[in-house]
Amino acid sequence: MLDAFRTARDSMLDALRVAPGWLAAHSMLQLVLAFLPGAQVVLIRSLVDGGGTWGPLLGLTVVVGAMYPITQVSNIAGQRMMLRLRLDYRVELAHVAARLSPSRLAEPDVVRDLETSQAATDPMSDVAGKPVQVLSAAVTSVLLCIAIASINVLSGLLVLAALVPTVLAFTLISRMEAKGWPRVGEYERAAAYATEQLIQQRSGTELAVLGSGWKVADQIAGSRTQATYVLDRMIRTAMNLELAAALVTVMLFGGALIALVTGGANGGAAAAAVAGTITGLNAIRQCGYAFGSIVTAAPQAMIYRRFARSVPPAARQTVVPQVESVALEHVSFAYDDVPVLHDVCIEAHRGELVALVGVNGAGKSTAINLLVGSLSPDCGRVLIDGKDARHLTEAERLGYFGLLVQEFGRFEFTLRDAVALGSPDPVSDQAVRTALTDTFAAGLPLDTQLGQQWGGTGISGGQWQRLALSRIRLRNAGVWILDEPTSAIDAEAEREIFADLRRTKDERITIVVSHRAWTLREMDRIYVIDGGTVVQQGTYPELMARQTGRFARLFAAQQE
């Protein structure tokens, strides 16, 4: 209940900030509507009881005639307010997502919270007008109660009490939905993920070639069936509660009418009360829907607001182009108590080409993540220019690095935009062109749209990797960390890339993860990681000379 109240309050405050004019128009018209049923009772009574003919008749004409247009205009004002709020929430969420740090993105709940928040923007914007509608219904009931109580007090009180079952029913519904929606969300998320595998070009093509897409379709069916089952149960329970509330409401209105008639009210008063009550019933039903929207939106809205608040304000990165040294000093690290790195010491200085090698799962990517700060060591220190990196904020620390990960992004934007993402700052076309020098894209217009799904140019896996490398070039940070930078690139282009890295190595610190022996030949130092420990270090000839060493065994098959 408290969550529903907070959701209503926060949405109203957001509407006041984003669309004050439409909120004011919607609220004023709703309050005008609140007076009409009570006015109806007074006017009909006055007309039937002989309190004048033309005055009450004119009044009734205005009241009845105004009800529909006022309702319509109020709804339109509400919708226009909703549109603006929804835009505001969506834009806010995009900025929040853009501010997520690598360490936060690695947390397991982040994607789920982000998706729930995305789904929350519609119901949250819908909620903004609802508190006014609930208030309007409450005012309607109170005024109706006063108007009818002037004929019969018990009747008036029964009309007021008719609000209670609806409010009670929706409170119970909200509790049930607060439990049910997260479960539905999980099933929907699993189904959405599996659907994406079917329709995304890369995974979809693999499944089509394997002829096993139907297995993924079965998984989608399973998740969607579970979600539908939970939803169906929620709808059934909500329907039963709403029906029970409607029944009690009708009984209370019936009781009010009986109390009127048995209380000795004349025909005119009874007719006035009946007419007002019918209009009032409608208002109370609206109140039920409005209240229901608030309580249904509350769990999602709470997640949205908690998530948006949990992401700190933007801390702009500043790229540091010159770094003298980086080091892991006696670093150990465990994922959930499973040790992965033990007492690892790695260092790299400006002008050096340093390689990390080891079998899959040896701990190379973990070491890199510890260096850039996506993970924090359990023991030991990370040093940047000799200083403990713990004293840097995550944004400050990331500014020292240009990191090319194995799962590099394939950004299907224009060529210019895809490369410009390498820098946190706006970049000139000239800088983009320089970053693309000697690549397949050097001669392409910067406005070239990438990605066939946008009607653009389809490019190969290796070409996407070259664009990812161009982003690192454009960024020009003091430390380049390249995790298998040429895994998708042909041998000739690979040689060119490594030759370029060697030629320009004095400008920076370069750390490469590579599984290809020949790329390691000219490294200044190679660290061999095995089972989370540095087991050997040296140059290629030094390591190969130790025939029984881990390195020689790893690369024996690749020796020419």
Q: Which of 335, 390, 393, 425 binds ligand ATP (CB under 6 A)?
A: 335
DSSP 113-127: HHHHHHHHHHHHHHH
- Closest approach of Cβ 345 to ligand ATP, in Å? 17
CB neighbours of residue 108 within 10 Å: 6
* 355 in contact with ligand ATP (CB under 6 A): no
Choices 163-171, 204-212, 307-315, 355-363 (CB under 6 A): range interacting with ligand ATP: 355-363
Q: What is the DSSP letter of 557?
A: G
DSSP code per residue over 360-392: TTSSHHHHHHHHHTSS--SEEEEEETTEEGGGS
Looking at beta carbons only, is 12 or 372 nearer to ligand ATP?
A: 372
| Shorter beta-carbon distance to ligand ATP: residue 71 or 533 | 533
Listed in order, strand segments (DSSP E) in 237-362 are 325-335, 338-349, 353-357
Question: What sign does the CA torsion over 266, 269, 272, 275 have?
Answer: negative
Nearer to ligand ATP, 133 or 510 (CB): 510
State which of residues 351, 361, 445, 458 lies at the interface with ligand ATP (CB under 6 A): 361
Is 362 one of the binding residues for ligand ATP (CB under 6 A)? Answer: yes
For residue 106 the two structure tokens come to 């690695």
**298, 340, 489, 543: residue in contact with ligand ATP (rule CB under 6 A):** 340
3-state SS assignment for residue 250: helix
By C-alpha distance, which of 35, 38, 33, 39 is closest to 70? 33
Indicate whether 534 belongs to the interface with ligand ATP (CB under 6 A).
no
Binding characters for ligand ATP, 487-516, by CB under 6 A (x = yes): ------------------------------
- Residues 409-428 as x/- pattern, contact with ligand ATP by CB under 6 A: --------------------
What is the secondary structure of 497-516 as a DSSP string? HHHHHHHTGGGSEEEEE---
Pick between residue 116 and residue 365 the one whose CB is nearest to ligand ATP.
365
503 token code pair: 């030629």
Nearer to ligand ATP, 336 or 447 (CB): 336
Q: Which is nearer to ligand ATP, 365 or 476 (by Cβ)?
A: 365
Q: Should residue 360 be labelled a site residue for ligand ATP when binding is judged by CB under 6 A? A: yes
Query: Could you say whether residue 350 binds ligand ATP (CB under 6 A)?
Result: no
Min separation Cβ 467 and ligand ATP, Å = 21
351 binds ligand ATP (CB under 6 A): no
Q: Do 470 and 439 touch, CB atoms closer than 8 A?
A: yes
Q: Which of 60, 55, 58 is nearest to 36 (CA)?
A: 60
Span 191-230, contacts to ligand ATP by CB under 6 A: none
Give 133 or 374: the residue with its C-beta nearer to ligand ATP: 374
Query: Angle at which helices 267-310 and 153-161 pack, to 10 degrees?
Result: 30
Nearer to ligand ATP, 183 or 515 (CB): 515
Q: Which amino acid is at 279?
A: T
Q: How many residues bind ligand ATP (CB under 6 A)?
A: 10
DSSP single-letter state for residue 539 = -
For ligand ATP, which stretch binds (CB under 6 A), given 47-55, 59-67, 220-228, 353-361?
353-361
Asked if 300 touches ligand ATP (CB under 6 A), the answer is no
Which burial class, exposed, middle or buried, applies to 6 when counting CB atoms under 10 A from its CB (0-12, 13-18, 19+)?
middle
**534, containing H or E segment:** strand 533-538
Nearest-approach distance from CB 360 to ligand ATP, in angstroms: 3
Phi/psi at 527 (5° precision): -105, 125
- What is the phi/psi pair of residue 342, to 5°? -130, 120
Among 366, 374, 465, 470, binds ligand ATP (CB under 6 A): 366
364 binds ligand ATP (CB under 6 A): yes
Q: Which region, judged by CB under 6 A, interacts with ligand ATP, from 166-174, 217-225, 255-263, 357-365?
A: 357-365
Phi, psi of 107 (to 5 degrees): -70, 140
Task: Indicate the SS3 state at residue 140.
Answer: helix
- Both tokens assigned to 303: 């997640």
List the one residue from 156, 180, 185, 363 that touches ligand ATP (CB under 6 A): 363
List contacts with ligand ATP (CB under 6 A).
335, 340, 358, 360-366
